[in-house]
Amino acid sequence: MIPVILSGGNGSRLWPLSRQGYPKQFLPLVGEQSMFQQTIQRLPAGLSSPIIVTNEAHRFLVQEQLQAIDCDPLQIILEPFGRNTAPAVAMAALEVLSSGRDDIIAVLPADHFIGNIPEYHRALATARDRAAQGDLVLFGITPTAPETGYGYIRTGSSVGDQAKVVLEFVEKPDLQTAMSYLASGEYFWNSGMFVFSARRYIEELAVHYPRMFVSCELAYEASQSSDGCRLLAPEQFRDCPDESIDYALMEKTDAATAVAMNAGWSDLGCWSSLWDTEARDSDDNVLLGDVVSHRSTACYVRSDHRLVATVGVQDLFIVDTKDAVLVAHRDSVQEVKTIVDKLKAARRSEHVVHREVFRPWGSYQTTDLGSRFQVKNIKVKPGASLSLQKHHHRAEHWIVVSGTAEVTRGDEVFLLGENESTYIPVGEVHRLTNPGIIPLEIVEVQSGSYLGEDDIIRLDDIYGRVQSEPTTASAEPSLKAAEQPVVAVPKKQPVPAVALAAQR
């Protein structure tokens, strides 16, 4: 059985912690490892290496997190833009079939929490047995409450010892309807996890959604493979319908069965899910980071970098990051996505990137800015290198805080140590490299008439990133086209998140 890890979501209901450039599956929401890493590490022994399906913009993040847990994937499939779960699963199935195999695949979202690992392994084994007989299996979670944030499935007669026929898929219900589902005993929560053979999925997709089957097949045939990754062709992939696996296939097939799984599952779809999952104190609070609470009950308070204090409050969710603070009542946490939509409409950047922006070579964050200057803290991993580049509108001053910097400036190549600095004139070709074995940290001071991240002319890049271009309107912008804010604007104006493709 081959695990297929779906890692393409944005997790907008967990804003401001989860953002488009660094979504929830890559964050350590519960425990020290990311949800993506936990999804892989809880797989039972004896399974194949996984196939990862993710956004092209998350390629280096995925590779870095895989390397950190010593996982060598079977393939990483890179989507130029999201097309929902049905095409993503089709690409993984076609990848399996292209090798002449017809393995059973386990489709697992990368952002779910599983508390009972032995029960999870039992359910996987049961599902594998049903899939071997031709079923399209999904995991049904026995509901423990009238949850209105999950989709449901209605089941009928038993198939074998531990599976039931799926009769109906239903959308997220209102409270009264959810209570009736719970009382009937006929309904499961829809987990979004599936098991079936690669060929069976493709055959059923061809019957029930031929347009999607054809467009997926064309996109896969036009894809390119290099360095353990398969990049789907944007022109062909754009034609794939944007549909979930439920709508595209599972609601239409007569081969769907459900295997019950009671493994302490949560999709961590909103902040209240995290409150349910984490250990709580004697006042029913979850307090993470530098938090002091007094006469506060049933709250979730999380602070990344500074002291947050609460006094006499109840049922509040407070999440403090370096550039945004969320305060929401328990009854309204499902509406956090509305804030994200408003940020998008205002063309702000806070739904796309955090203040600290991660790159294959390390990270950077803006610490101060004005109309003609910007100050950044840049961290470069050992052995890593920024692209060879130049700027038309800004000069840069580099001061080494720690580590050793190898600087390319025009025809010169020289080293800088701690407390040493250099100057990069406007238009000068330059590159920053860390030749050492410890992280390099520098302070960069930019000055000039325009400080936007699209003022980068990339001449060479060891990570194979394409040259950035100013944004143009597109029906299908990739995540890379919205990675970076324009920073040189008055503070009272919204900061655009236009595609100033910020790959240095």
Q: What is the pLDDT of residue 467?
A: 52
DSSP 393: S
Q: Where in the chain is the domain with CATH 3.90.550.10?
A: 2-138+191-254
What residues have CB less than 8 Å from 456, skipping those under 6 apart? 387, 389, 391, 468, 502, 503, 504
pLDDT number for residue 452:
83
Residue 476 dihedral angles phi and psi, to the nearest 5°: -135, 70
- Listed residue (161, 200, 45, 41) closest to 108, CA to CA: 41
Contact 217, 237 (CB under 8 A): no
Beginning with the edge strand found earlier in the chain, give each strand of the sheet holding 286-294 in spatial order.
Answer: 286-294, 300-311, 316-320, 325-329
pTM passes above 0.85? no
| Angle, alpha carbons 187-191-194 (nearest 5°) | 110
The helix or strand, by DSSP H or E, that contains position 178, with its residue range, turns out to be: helix 175-184
* Distance separating alpha carbons of residues 22 and 479, to the nearest angstrom: 11
Q: What is the pLDDT of residue 29?
A: 92
Q: What is the pLDDT of residue 300?
A: 97
Handedness of CA 127, 128, 130, 134 (dihedral sign): positive
Quick check: 175 and 148 in contact, CB under 8 A?
yes
Q: What is the DSSP-derived secondary structure letter of residue 293?
A: E
CA dist., res. 418 & res. 405, Å (int): 9
Say if CB 455 and CB 403 are below 8 A apart: no
Which residues have CB under 8 Å from 374's CB, separation 6+?
366, 368, 445, 446, 451, 487, 488
Alpha-carbon distance 308 to 297, whole Å? 15
- The pLDDT value given to residue 486: 34
Tokens of 27: 């964050």
Contact predicate 163/126, CB 8 Å: yes
Is the N-terminal amide bond of 477 cis, ω within 30° of 0? no
Nearest one of 122, 81, 80, 88 to 105, comparing CA atoms: 88
For the chain, residues with pLDDT lower than 70 are 466-504
* pLDDT value of residue 76: 96
pLDDT, tens digit (0-9, with 9 covering 90-100), for 156-176: 888 877 889 989 888 888 888
In CATH, the number for domain 356-482 is 2.60.120.10
Q: What is the DSSP string of 226-241?
A: ETTEEEPPHHHHTTS-
Total Cβ atoms within 10 A of residue 306: 9
Tokens of 439: 């992280």
Which residue intervals of the chain bear CATH 2.60.120.10? 356-482
Reading the block at residue 433, the tokens are 């490299």
CATH number of 2-138+191-254: 3.90.550.10
Q: What is the pLDDT of residue 66?
A: 95
Burial classification of residue 83, based on how many CB atoms lie within 10 Å of its CB (0-12 exposed, 13-18 middle, 19 or more buried): buried
Q: If DSSP codes are grouped into helix, strand and coil, which group holds residue 248?
A: helix
